Amino acid sequence: MVTVRLTMLCATATPGGPDRDLANESVAGAMRAALPPYARALRAPSARCARTAGALAVEATPEETLRDLDHGAWDGRPLRDIAAKDPHGLSAWLTDPEAAPHGGESVARLCDRTAAWLTALPDGPGLLAITEAAVIRAALVHALAVPARAFWQLRVPPLSTVTLTMRDGHWTARLTPPTAPRRMPPTAGGSVPGAVLLTLPADRERLCPAGRP
Protein backbone atom coordinates (compact mmCIF):
# COMPACT_ATOMS: atom_id res chain seq x y z
CA MET A 1 0.00 0.00 0.00
CA VAL A 2 1.31 3.45 -0.94
CA THR A 3 1.87 5.57 2.16
CA VAL A 4 3.41 8.70 0.61
CA ARG A 5 3.98 9.87 -2.96
CA LEU A 6 6.09 13.00 -3.31
CA THR A 7 7.01 14.61 -6.63
CA MET A 8 9.93 17.05 -6.39
CA LEU A 9 10.31 19.45 -9.33
CA CYS A 10 13.68 21.15 -9.70
CA ALA A 11 13.27 24.89 -10.22
CA THR A 12 14.76 26.66 -13.20
CA ALA A 13 18.36 27.75 -12.82
CA THR A 14 18.47 31.30 -14.20
CA PRO A 15 16.06 33.77 -15.84
CA GLY A 16 18.07 33.58 -19.09
CA GLY A 17 18.05 29.80 -19.24
CA PRO A 18 15.16 27.34 -18.99
CA ASP A 19 12.86 30.13 -17.76
CA ARG A 20 12.59 31.25 -21.38
CA ASP A 21 11.12 27.88 -22.26
CA LEU A 22 8.51 28.20 -19.53
CA ALA A 23 7.48 31.53 -21.04
CA ASN A 24 6.22 29.47 -24.00
CA GLU A 25 2.68 28.47 -23.07
CA SER A 26 2.80 25.24 -25.09
CA VAL A 27 5.97 24.14 -23.28
CA ALA A 28 4.58 25.14 -19.88
CA GLY A 29 1.35 23.31 -20.73
CA ALA A 30 3.27 20.16 -21.64
CA MET A 31 5.11 20.32 -18.33
CA ARG A 32 1.88 20.76 -16.40
CA ALA A 33 0.36 17.77 -18.19
CA ALA A 34 3.44 15.66 -17.40
CA LEU A 35 3.21 16.25 -13.64
CA PRO A 36 1.70 13.36 -11.68
CA PRO A 37 -1.61 14.11 -9.94
CA TYR A 38 -1.18 15.99 -6.67
CA ALA A 39 -3.51 17.16 -3.92
CA ARG A 40 -1.20 19.77 -2.41
CA ALA A 41 1.77 21.82 -3.64
CA LEU A 42 4.68 23.37 -1.74
CA ARG A 43 7.66 25.38 -2.90
CA ALA A 44 10.96 26.62 -1.55
CA PRO A 45 10.96 30.31 -0.59
CA SER A 46 13.43 31.39 -3.31
CA ALA A 47 12.47 33.71 -6.17
CA ARG A 48 13.32 31.09 -8.80
CA CYS A 49 10.96 28.55 -7.17
CA ALA A 50 8.23 31.20 -7.10
CA ARG A 51 8.86 31.92 -10.80
CA THR A 52 8.71 28.24 -11.70
CA ALA A 53 5.45 27.76 -9.79
CA GLY A 54 3.98 30.86 -11.42
CA ALA A 55 4.98 29.80 -14.92
CA LEU A 56 3.34 26.42 -14.39
CA ALA A 57 0.23 27.98 -12.80
CA VAL A 58 0.80 25.92 -9.66
CA GLU A 59 -0.54 27.41 -6.43
CA ALA A 60 2.28 26.36 -4.12
CA THR A 61 2.62 27.28 -0.45
CA PRO A 62 6.13 28.45 0.58
CA GLU A 63 7.87 25.94 2.84
CA GLU A 64 10.98 27.14 4.70
CA THR A 65 12.40 23.63 5.13
CA LEU A 66 12.76 23.35 1.35
CA ARG A 67 15.18 26.30 1.23
CA ASP A 68 18.47 25.96 -0.64
CA LEU A 69 21.80 25.03 0.92
CA ASP A 70 23.19 28.07 2.78
CA HIS A 71 26.49 28.98 1.07
CA GLY A 72 27.51 31.51 3.70
CA ALA A 73 30.34 33.84 2.64
CA TRP A 74 30.43 32.18 -0.79
CA ASP A 75 26.92 33.39 -1.58
CA GLY A 76 26.69 34.67 -5.16
CA ARG A 77 30.41 34.27 -5.90
CA PRO A 78 31.57 32.50 -9.10
CA LEU A 79 33.04 29.06 -8.47
CA ARG A 80 36.16 30.03 -10.39
CA ASP A 81 36.75 32.85 -7.93
CA ILE A 82 36.24 30.55 -4.95
CA ALA A 83 38.61 27.96 -6.41
CA ALA A 84 41.27 30.62 -6.95
CA LYS A 85 41.00 32.24 -3.51
CA ASP A 86 40.13 29.28 -1.31
CA PRO A 87 41.08 26.05 -3.10
CA HIS A 88 41.52 24.07 0.12
CA GLY A 89 38.15 25.20 1.44
CA LEU A 90 36.42 24.29 -1.81
CA SER A 91 38.12 20.89 -1.87
CA ALA A 92 37.03 20.22 1.72
CA TRP A 93 33.46 21.24 0.93
CA LEU A 94 33.27 18.87 -2.05
CA THR A 95 34.80 15.88 -0.24
CA ASP A 96 33.71 16.20 3.40
CA PRO A 97 29.93 16.39 3.99
CA GLU A 98 30.55 17.84 7.45
CA ALA A 99 32.65 20.75 6.14
CA ALA A 100 31.26 24.28 5.82
CA PRO A 101 34.32 26.46 5.12
CA HIS A 102 32.04 29.28 3.92
CA GLY A 103 30.43 29.55 7.34
CA GLY A 104 27.04 28.48 6.05
CA GLU A 105 25.44 25.05 6.03
CA SER A 106 27.25 21.76 5.49
CA VAL A 107 25.95 19.12 3.11
CA ALA A 108 25.44 16.82 6.09
CA ARG A 109 23.20 19.37 7.82
CA LEU A 110 21.18 19.87 4.64
CA CYS A 111 20.73 16.10 4.34
CA ASP A 112 19.66 15.89 7.99
CA ARG A 113 17.00 18.61 7.75
CA THR A 114 15.69 17.21 4.46
CA ALA A 115 15.51 13.69 5.93
CA ALA A 116 13.64 15.04 8.96
CA TRP A 117 11.14 16.77 6.65
CA LEU A 118 10.59 13.58 4.63
CA THR A 119 10.12 11.52 7.76
CA ALA A 120 7.50 13.96 9.08
CA LEU A 121 5.38 13.95 5.90
CA PRO A 122 1.81 12.84 6.62
CA ASP A 123 0.40 9.70 5.06
CA GLY A 124 -1.35 10.09 1.73
CA PRO A 125 -0.33 10.43 -1.92
CA GLY A 126 -0.20 13.48 -4.08
CA LEU A 127 2.31 16.04 -2.79
CA LEU A 128 4.21 18.30 -5.21
CA ALA A 129 7.29 20.23 -4.05
CA ILE A 130 8.96 22.80 -6.30
CA THR A 131 12.40 23.18 -4.83
CA GLU A 132 16.15 23.48 -5.29
CA ALA A 133 18.49 20.93 -6.86
CA ALA A 134 20.46 20.68 -3.60
CA VAL A 135 17.33 19.79 -1.63
CA ILE A 136 16.38 17.11 -4.16
CA ARG A 137 19.90 15.65 -3.96
CA ALA A 138 19.56 15.57 -0.18
CA ALA A 139 16.18 13.84 -0.48
CA LEU A 140 17.73 11.22 -2.76
CA VAL A 141 20.55 10.63 -0.27
CA HIS A 142 17.88 9.78 2.31
CA ALA A 143 15.55 7.80 0.05
CA LEU A 144 18.34 5.71 -1.49
CA ALA A 145 20.10 5.29 1.86
CA VAL A 146 23.45 6.32 0.40
CA PRO A 147 26.21 8.17 2.29
CA ALA A 148 26.07 11.97 2.29
CA ARG A 149 29.36 12.03 0.38
CA ALA A 150 27.36 10.80 -2.67
CA PHE A 151 25.53 14.15 -2.69
CA TRP A 152 27.66 15.74 -5.44
CA GLN A 153 27.36 12.66 -7.68
CA LEU A 154 23.58 12.98 -7.94
CA ARG A 155 22.65 15.04 -10.99
CA VAL A 156 19.33 16.89 -10.93
CA PRO A 157 18.84 19.05 -14.07
CA PRO A 158 16.58 22.12 -13.95
CA LEU A 159 12.92 21.30 -14.65
CA SER A 160 13.45 17.58 -14.05
CA THR A 161 11.27 15.75 -11.55
CA VAL A 162 11.98 13.08 -8.98
CA THR A 163 9.09 11.03 -7.64
CA LEU A 164 9.69 9.46 -4.24
CA THR A 165 7.25 6.77 -3.17
CA MET A 166 7.04 5.29 0.32
CA ARG A 167 5.80 1.70 0.49
CA ASP A 168 5.95 -0.40 3.64
CA GLY A 169 8.55 1.88 5.19
CA HIS A 170 10.86 1.92 2.15
CA TRP A 171 11.41 4.69 -0.38
CA THR A 172 11.74 4.20 -4.13
CA ALA A 173 12.83 6.97 -6.52
CA ARG A 174 12.14 7.71 -10.18
CA LEU A 175 13.84 10.53 -12.08
CA THR A 176 12.07 12.08 -15.07
CA PRO A 177 14.18 14.24 -17.43
CA PRO A 178 13.07 17.81 -18.21
CA THR A 179 10.05 18.09 -20.49
CA ALA A 180 11.15 21.50 -21.78
CA PRO A 181 14.01 21.64 -24.31
CA ARG A 182 17.28 22.85 -22.83
CA ARG A 183 18.99 25.54 -24.91
CA MET A 184 22.49 26.62 -23.99
CA PRO A 185 23.46 29.93 -25.65
CA PRO A 186 26.98 30.12 -27.11
CA THR A 187 29.60 32.21 -25.37
CA ALA A 188 31.47 35.05 -27.03
CA GLY A 189 34.15 32.59 -28.09
CA GLY A 190 31.63 30.35 -29.77
CA SER A 191 31.79 27.49 -27.29
CA VAL A 192 28.80 26.16 -25.41
CA PRO A 193 29.00 26.56 -21.62
CA GLY A 194 28.16 23.48 -19.56
CA ALA A 195 26.50 23.16 -16.20
CA VAL A 196 29.76 21.98 -14.65
CA LEU A 197 32.57 24.31 -13.64
CA LEU A 198 35.86 23.07 -12.24
CA THR A 199 34.50 19.49 -12.38
CA LEU A 200 31.85 20.45 -9.83
CA PRO A 201 28.42 18.98 -10.65
CA ALA A 202 26.61 22.20 -9.79
CA ASP A 203 23.54 23.56 -11.55
CA ARG A 204 24.57 27.21 -11.53
CA GLU A 205 27.81 29.11 -12.07
CA ARG A 206 27.21 31.21 -8.97
CA LEU A 207 26.23 29.99 -5.56
CA CYS A 208 22.82 31.38 -4.59
CA PRO A 209 21.11 30.81 -1.26
CA ALA A 210 17.43 30.70 -0.52
CA GLY A 211 15.42 33.82 -1.17
CA ARG A 212 17.53 35.03 -4.11
CA PRO A 213 17.10 34.44 -7.86
In angstroms, the CA 45 to CA 209 distance is 10
What does the pLDDT look like over 101-121, one tens digit per residue?
999 999 999 999 999 999 999
Q: For position 99, what pLDDT does the model report?
A: 97
In angstroms, the CA 203 to CA 147 distance is 21
Residue type, 32: R
Mean pLDDT of 19-27: 72
Single pTM value for the model: 0.82
List Cβ neighbours of 96 (8 Å cut-off, separation of 6 or more): 149
| Nearest partner of 12 among 24, 4, 21, judged by Cα | 21
